[in-house]
Amino acid sequence: MADSSVEIIEGCRLPVLRKNQENEDEWPLAEILSVKELPGRKLYYVHYIDFNKRLDEWVTPDRLDMKKLQFPKKEAKTPPKNGLPGSRPGSPERDVRKSLDLSVQSASAPSRGKTLPTPKRKAESVSLASQVSAVTPVSSLPSSADESQASVFPALRDSSFSITPREEHQPLAALTTNGSTRRLIPPQPGRKRKTCGGTDEDSQDSSDGIPSAPRMTGSLVSDRSHDDIVTRMKNIDCIELGRHRLKPWYFSPYPQELTGLPILYLCEYCLKYLKSLKCLQRHLTKCNLRHPPGNEIYRKGTISFFEIDGRKNKAYSQNLCLLAKCFLDHKTLYYDTDPFLFYVMTEYDSKGFHIVGYFSKEKESTEDYNVACILTLPPYQRRGYGKLLIEFSYELSKVEGKTGTPEKPLSDLGLLSYRSYWTQTILEILMNLKPDNGERPQITINEISEITSVKKEDVISTLQYLNLINYYKGQYILTLSEDIVEGHERAMQKRHLRIDPKCLHFTPKDWSKRGKW
């Protein structure tokens, strides 16, 4: 459908033909990022608007709908004053000066609510109470989300957990269950149940289903403001890793002389990159590794985990980061791997230990991060390995005696995996609560966090994401519907891969006492 009389340039937007998941034709709007001229034809590299970058691809002219071609808008020659709409972006120097001026002003100005960071305990109270305040008297709200008592009333497979206010110095929320109660709590006439659906500052989901802006902090968060046309395009066509061939999703800064090759070859044991199959075969005769370098700290069946120090095994760690960047877009790549530990999951067979996925973590994290980057390689996805990596990261946190959370922002697939893991882990605890001598067993939000090593903010945000928290008769109620219970049971039946803590041989190190990593 391309019209040869019209020249398509970079920045143009137009509908492009592609197949959706049902293998049906669709014409989403796409932006032309690059044009490549080959003998006798042209190819266009397109990014589908509002689609993930991993779907970007080279397309032929016959897939372009020229009737709806949009040329890129020209920038105004003289930007209007006061930064009104339509003005060009300011120069970096001006932006820096502006941000410095603002930071100086905000530092000298008195505190006005949200201008200064508040302690985390206060943030928790906002996360649960802020949404209820509009419909409930302030006096009935608890002082903190964690410091609210909760009661569990299982009734015909519907379980509810009530939360009552407590004083700030008293213990945290208690979830209680009454085994003798077998009735549903009927809603009172004329009284509507009020739901509490606030969000916490670490959550990526808002109460109305619209993702909130991700927090751009952390050690490996990508600075999206410096994206250019080069890093927006995939530069590697194919990677051969052992018995698998992988199609990269994103740009990765491999040496430029290797980006034009049809296939990039990687040694699956040391992850060294080579330009040809012959070079790989010659390398394998000299490479003595049959497993990742470092200490094997877990083995059960064919699954093993290796702990790799980014300082002691720098070459391997850098090669791992290069490979991971092909499939991770939200994190930036640092060649300085010294401050990180890498935990590589492998599958064993007669030829050796084959990499399945990995996660990295900071040796010292000031924000309780227990994962910096996490990846399951595409050939092993949708087989339960992602949850196994997440579960292993929390097992390490349990041994360390800490609670942890993944570094934000999470990718779309990472967020799905973590949400699923948090949901299953928390529901497993709530459903296993049993009455104790006729009394309602009690459990606090703190205790859930300590048992699972999941950070309290993630526990609360998961309950809110599942829409389990309701407000009823001056109390917070957690209601487990029959659908949630049945869905959880089905999910747990499919989850065959689990971490066995008895097979973990791990001694945490106190990195703060070491002069150098």
In the prediction, which pLDDT does 55 show? 92
> Which sequence spans correspond to the domains of the chain?
12-68, 234-409, 426-499
Cα first-last separation, the chain: 59
**Helix (H/G/I), strand (E/B), else coil: 356:** strand
Query: Residues 31, 124, 268, 407: which is the catalytic one?
Result: 407
Residue 293: CA atoms inside 13 Å, Cβ hemisphere, count? 19
Rounded to an integer, what distance in angstroms lies between the CA atom of residue 158 and that of residue 131? 24
Rounded to an integer, what distance in angstroms lies between the CA atom of residue 166 and that of residue 145? 10
**Is residue 268 flagged as an active site residue?**
no
Q: What is the pTM (predicted TM-score) of this model?
A: 0.70
Kindly list the averaged pLDDT for each block of 10 residues, start to end, along the chain of length 517.
Answer: 72 93 92 90 93 92 91 68 48 44 43 40 33 33 38 39 38 35 36 37 38 42 56 92 95 92 96 96 94 95 96 94 91 78 96 96 92 95 94 96 91 90 93 75 80 94 86 73 90 93 92 64
**Helix (H/G/I), strand (E/B), else coil: 379:** helix
In the prediction, which pLDDT does 163 show? 39
Rounded to an integer, what distance in angstroms lies between the CA atom of residue 427 and that of residue 406? 20
- DSSP labels for 421-469? HHHHHHHHHHHT---BTTBPPEE-HHHHHHHH-B-HHHHHHHHHHTT-E
In the prediction, which pLDDT does 514 show? 64
**Helix (H/G/I), strand (E/B), else coil: 97:** helix
Could you give the C-alpha distances from 51 to 57, 68, 324, 461, in angstroms and in order? 12, 19, 21, 26
Query: Which residue do the tokens 């949901």 mark?
Result: 423
User: Is the backbone of residue 382 left (phi > 0), alpha (psi -120 to 50) or beta?
Assistant: left
**What is residue 202's DSSP assignment?**
T
- Dihedral sign, Cα of residue 420, residue 185, residue 188, residue 133: negative
Could you give the C-alpha distances from 247 to 142, 314, 402, in angstroms and in order? 52, 25, 37
In the prediction, which pLDDT does 299 show? 96
CATH classification code of 12-68: 2.30.30.140
Question: Which residue in 318, 339, 360 sits closest to 517, CA to CA?
Answer: 339
In the prediction, which pLDDT does 497 show? 93
Secondary-structure class of domain 234-409 per CATH: alpha beta
**What is residue 281's DSSP assignment?**
H
Give the count of beta carbons closer than 10 Å to the beta carbon of residue 265: 22
Rounded to an integer, what distance in angstroms lies between the CA atom of residue 322 and that of residue 345? 17
In total, the chain counts a number of residues equal to 517
In the prediction, which pLDDT does 335 show? 74
Per the CB < 8 A criterion, the answer to whether 309 and 296 are in contact is no
Fold of 426-499: Arc Repressor Mutant, subunit A (1.10.10)
Token output for 101? 């001026």
* Exposure string over 377-416, b if 16+ CB within 10 A, otherwise e: beebbeebbbbbbbbbbbbbbbebeebbbbbbbbbebbbe
Helix, strand, coil percent content, the chain, rounded in steps of 5: 30, 25, 45
